[in-house]
Amino acid sequence: MNLSLLDKIDSIANDAVAKQAAPGCVVLVLKDGKIAFEKAYGYYTYEKQEPMRTDAVFDMASVTKICATTLSVMKLYDEGKIDLNKTLGDYLPFVRGTNKASLLISKILLHQAGLVAYIPFYKETIDAEGKPIPGIYQTTESDSFSVQVAKDFFVANAWQDSIRQKILRSPLGPQDKYVYSDNDFIFLGKIVEEVTGMGLDKYVQKTFYKPMGLTSIGFKPLQFVPEKLVVPTEAETKFRTQLLRGYVHDPGSAMMGGVAGHAGLFSNAYDIGALMQMLMNGGTFNGYRYLQQSTVEMFTKYQSDISRRGFGFDKPEKDNATRKEAYPTASASAATFGHTGFTGTSTWADPASNMVFVFLSNRVNPSGSNTLGNMNVRPKIHETIYQSMQSTK
């Protein structure tokens, strides 16, 4: 890699921080299985009291979908415990007898099952001013309020059934239409739990994170890393009305206690990079096989005629060469796979160039702005990495 060209990352990242696209960010590049670039920029917040650090732990948002849920589904597929041609009803007793029972697992992985994109569960639990309705939440944990939503904030256990019923009663759209949906991955997380008899967080920890030696990745991060390593996300003015630090930003995942198939994972850049490297290695890491190569290849390649998706994974647009705005960037090969997260995170692996890119930020701090997306910060840095490789050929 041309390291002087990689220096351009500094100017892109520093410009993003200066223009308040995010208070800070971490960039990690792996090339041929080695760290080629690792750097932190800015601060945890705009108060500039805590400088950003390369081992900072971020709310990964929808990167959870690949680095927890899809990984788990892949392992269970490997073991013959999940069949992509079976249905939700085959695995989840609570959906039987509903119009969700016949939805194919393969269609759910592709976001083509007809499920609605998003259900704002929390909106029925707050008043017109955005304050929590008394009786639904309390500030201390108890037997009937054991689901923690934020700091000193617990929701009534009965709401878990309410959330489930809201998903089951949600309208069902046409099959084979691409609608990116959190509900797809909420269901997939439930399947992992039903099949394994373990929480999604426990299963992925036992199967991947712990044996791989990854210590900064997992759900409910304050249980395993010091708070000073966890980057704050949004200062919510509605619903939880606090600065979220170590508690999941996504309100749906929060109402499920911070563990869900679509959001809830926290990690530093290194641990995300290690998982992506394992996948790019065809399922092996440090001499140990975690997944079959054929499974990795199947899940990470294009699997839809109507979208750019693989099974669980996001991929480049198929017509990138002719698009005005390429996704995730112009030089990404068709073999590339990864995902982005609402909080300002993303990771992409490109087997064609044996390169992994991880970008972590807390762009939603303090108030959820999307300057990061408008400035195309992630694609610009990603493209710079490709340019640094091409200039050495």
Tens-digit pLDDT profile for residues 298-327: 999 999 999 999 999 999 999 998 888 899
**Residue 11: partners with Cβ closer than 8 Å, 6 or more residues away:** none
Residue 52 CB-half CA count within 13 A: 26
User: Distance between CA 372 and CA 329 in Å, rounded?
Assistant: 15
Mean per-residue pLDDT over the chain, rounded: 96
Angle at 298 between CA 294 and CA 302, to 5 degrees: 150
Q: What is the CATH number of the domain that holds 26?
A: 3.40.710.10
pLDDT digits (tens, 9 = 90+) for 179-210: 999 999 999 999 999 999 999 999 999 999 99
For residue 318, what pLDDT is reported? 96
Give start and end residues of each alpha helix (H) in 19-135.
64, 71-78, 88-91, 105-109
For position 321, what pLDDT does the model report? 85
Q: Which residue, 296, 301, 274, 279, is CA-closest to 217?
A: 274
Closest C-alpha to 190, from 113, 87, 91, 70: 91
Question: What is the arithmetic mean of pLDDT over 22-44?
Answer: 98
Q: Would strands 355-361 and 24-31 be described as parallel, antiparallel, or unpaired?
A: antiparallel
pLDDT in tens, 68-85: 999 999 999 999 999 999
Residue pair 87/101 in contact (Cβ under 8 Å)? The answer is yes
Rounded to whole angstroms, the Cα distance separating 220 from 211 reads 19
**Interatomic CA distance for residues 64 and 327, integer angstroms:** 20
- Return the number of other C-beta atoms located less than 10 Å from residue 371's C-beta: 14
Pairing of the two strands 218-219 and 288-289:
unpaired
Closest CA to 75 of 212, 214, 229: 212
Report whether pLDDT(391) > 80.
no
Looking at residue 305, what is its pLDDT? 97
Please give the pLDDT value at position 337: 98
DSSP strands (E only) in 81-237 = 137-138, 147-150, 153-155, 218-219
pLDDT score, position 292: 98
Residue 85 pLDDT: 98
Query: Residue 72: what are its φ and ψ, rounded to 5°?
Result: -65, -45
Token pair of 88, please? 């939700």
Q: What burial class does residue 143 get, using C-beta atoms within 10 Å of its C-beta: 0-12 exposed, 13-18 middle, 19+ buried?
A: exposed
Tally of structural domains, the chain:
1
Task: Average the pLDDT over 121-146 and give the result.
Answer: 94
Query: What does the pLDDT read at residue 393?
Result: 61
pLDDT surpassing 90 at residue 248: yes
CB atoms within 10 A of CB 367: 9
- Residues of the domain holding 38: 3-390
Torsion of CA 114, 307, 326, 28, to 10 degrees: 80
Do strands 288-289 and 284-285 pair parallel, antiparallel, or not at all (unpaired)? antiparallel
Determine the pLDDT at residue 369.
Answer: 83
CA-based nearest residue to 20, from 50, 45, 49, 56? 45
Alpha helices in the chain (DSSP H): 3-6, 8-18, 64, 71-78, 88-91, 105-109, 159-169, 182-196, 200-204, 251-255, 269-280, 293-300, 371-374, 377-390
Position 235, amino acid: A
